[in-house]
Amino acid sequence: MKILLVYPYFIDKRINEEDVSAIPMGLYYVGAMLRANGYAVDILNGHNLGRAPHRIYQVLGDKQPDVVGFSILHANRWGGIDIARMVKKVNPKATVVFGGVGATFLWEHFLTHFPEIDYVIRGEGEHSFLELIRFLENKKGKRPAQIDGLAFRKKGKPIKTKDREQLADLDSLPMPAHHFAFQHISLTRGCPEGCTFCGSPALWKRRVRFHSAEYFVTQMEILREKGVGFFFVSDDTFTLKRDLVIDICRRIVERRLDIVWAAISRVDCVDEEVLSWMRRAGCTQISYGVESGSRELRDRYRKRISEAAICRAFDLTVRYGIMARAYFIYGAPGESDQTIDESLALLRRIRPLSAIFYILDLFPGTALYEDYKRRTGASDDIWLDRVEDLLYFETDATLSKTTVLDFGRRLREGYLSLLPEFAAQIDLMDDPQLYPLHADFLSRLALTFSHGDYAINPLVENNLATAVMLFERSLGYHPDHRAFWGLGLVYQHLRRFDDSLAILQRGIEHHKTSPDLHMALANSLMRLNRYPEARQCLEAISDHPRAVEQLIRCCRFIGDREGEQTWIGRLNRLQQG
């Protein structure tokens, strides 16, 4: 039996595709469970295939799946419906199964209105899907009515079986890293909090289960061997068990995994020891849900955090050389100019080095969505419209679209105008053991001002001056490779070629075999018409195709035809492997 698991596309175009490009971890766990039990499984990341149906048809034609399972988050449900219809066109006998958080809360809606969907997995899917596959394969084992966590039609009517009991031992699941390569990993399932905008309380019943440190770090280690060096730790609150987190970090350090990772946490779940270990183990960013500067709105969200805890977490996180990122929500019940002013005031106090501002959405399974249905008498049939989401302000007569969009504009513009000031106020822990990590932190941040998101945003003023300041601070802690390289490039951009030469030559003294530093130095020399020196610099790294391309350029400028032909031959050999 051939099985295809699909992460479908979203219908609205994203400004940043990275927001939706990663396959959910649950799909990898389901795939690993099936492969561990002998089934042939492929995974299709269709997040970017909304405008390329021919590619989807091609995959379906090539794979000829008997069963197609979909990971439905909610906003991608129409992509799932579209592809399910394609599946039935290619093979009417193929079985279509929806799963994921969106399918869990809208199982009846899907089975009522969309005949191309045959089954819905509710809740955790590994065992439910495996049992369903075994039934579909030979009609043996548990029949659908006996499979917990399943929904289907009986005599044309949607029905569901009893809820599947949550898996007690997460380590008993086959490890996805043995079967797939990916960057998003998780330590836990669930969250103990009850935020009104989140579906987790209804999905996981505010219960949290944990992998062991050994399982989690071994998964990282296997993925590192597959070439994955950066990880997104996607738990709602990674640091719920501080001793477990410290154990994980200690193992990462002891095994010398040499990885970089970002995590999500709560401001009341971090302390100095945890942050110190996280930084030493490669953590470079922690995202915290702040939501609003208004205590009244945080209470409405049931976000049980104090302003003192928020300020403390952001201060400590940055002191240990970890970028503290803030999540804010706007357009909430009771949002006003005053509450936006309070959010801006809190931003000034916590000085986040990254911030994301979300407009409040209503999603099935959340307390705010249930409140909306009670207030208006609406039903899940609203999702028959081809839309991704429902914005809260669309349900509240006291808020207009113009007003709410202006709230967002004020937050973003206010924050971005303050960023250079926040960067200048960074206060790092004075611990010599952390100096190399501080240098790494500062140079990473500098690069966002010189070449990253902040470099191209017109609302961020003095971005190059800020980058220079951060690169120079970085080098004050440690001869950081990225700082030498980035500062050399900024000086080139500013046409300060002598300064560029000086800093890049210093960098090469510390990093003698660095292709990036040699390339940058040669570029500065060529811009000063010092081609013989540039040639000599590039010859030191002539195993690199980019260096050879520049060597060819140098030979042309100085009229060395024989040298040019020699390097052209060298380039051809390198490109042919």
577 has a pLDDT exceeding 80:
no
pLDDT band at 339 (very low <50, low <70, confident <90, very high): very high
199 has a pLDDT exceeding 90:
yes
pLDDT tens per residue, range 403-426: 999 999 999 999 999 999 999 999
pLDDT band at 576 (very low <50, low <70, confident <90, very high): confident
Adjacent-strand bridge partners of 362: 390
How far apart are the two ends of the chain, measured CA to CA in Å? 40
134 has a pLDDT exceeding 90:
yes
pLDDT tens per residue, range 449-502: 999 999 999 999 999 999 999 999 999 999 999 999 999 999 999 999 999 999
pLDDT tens per residue, range 28-80: 999 999 999 999 999 999 999 999 999 999 999 999 999 999 999 999 999 99
Closest C-alpha among 370, 367, 390 to residue 193: 367
For 353, what's the count of Cα atoms within 13 Å in the CB-facing half-sphere? 27
Q: Categorise residue 328: left if φ over 0, alpha if ψ from -120 to 50, beta otherwise.
A: beta
Mean pLDDT of the chain, nearest integer = 96
- How far is residue 198's CA from residue 182's CA, in Å, rounded to a whole number? 25
The bridge status of strand 150-154 relative to strand 119-121 is: antiparallel
Is the distance from CB of 126 to CB of 173 less than 8 angstroms?
yes
104 has a pLDDT exceeding 90:
yes
Is the distance from CB of 216 to CB of 185 less than 8 angstroms?
yes
Adjacent-strand bridge partners of 119: 97
Is the distance from CB of 405 to CB of 451 less than 8 angstroms?
no
* Residues in Cβ contact with 234 at an 8 Å cutoff, skipping those fewer than 6 apart: 25, 184, 185, 186, 264
Q: Categorise residue 440: left if φ over 0, alpha if ψ from -120 to 50, beta otherwise.
A: alpha
537 has a pLDDT exceeding 90:
yes
pLDDT at res. 190: 96
162 has a pLDDT exceeding 80:
yes
Angle, vertex CA 478, rays to CA 221 and CA 435, nearest 5:
65
pLDDT at res. 13: 84
**Helices 435-450, 401-424: crossing angle, 10 deg rounding:** 130
- How far is residue 124's CA from residue 99's CA, in Å, rounded to a whole number? 9
Closest C-alpha among 225, 285, 305 to residue 257: 225
Give the predicted TM-score (pTM) of the model.
Answer: 0.95
Q: How many CB atoms lie within 10 A of CB 157?
A: 10
Is the distance from CB of 27 to CB of 125 less than 8 angstroms?
no
pLDDT at res. 508: 97
Token pair 């049992």: residue: 131
Is the distance from CB of 152 to CB of 98 less than 8 angstroms?
no
Token pair 């039996």: residue: 1
Nearest 5°: phi and psi at 44? -110, 120
* Residues in Cβ contact with 505 at an 8 Å cutoff, skipping those fewer than 6 apart: 521
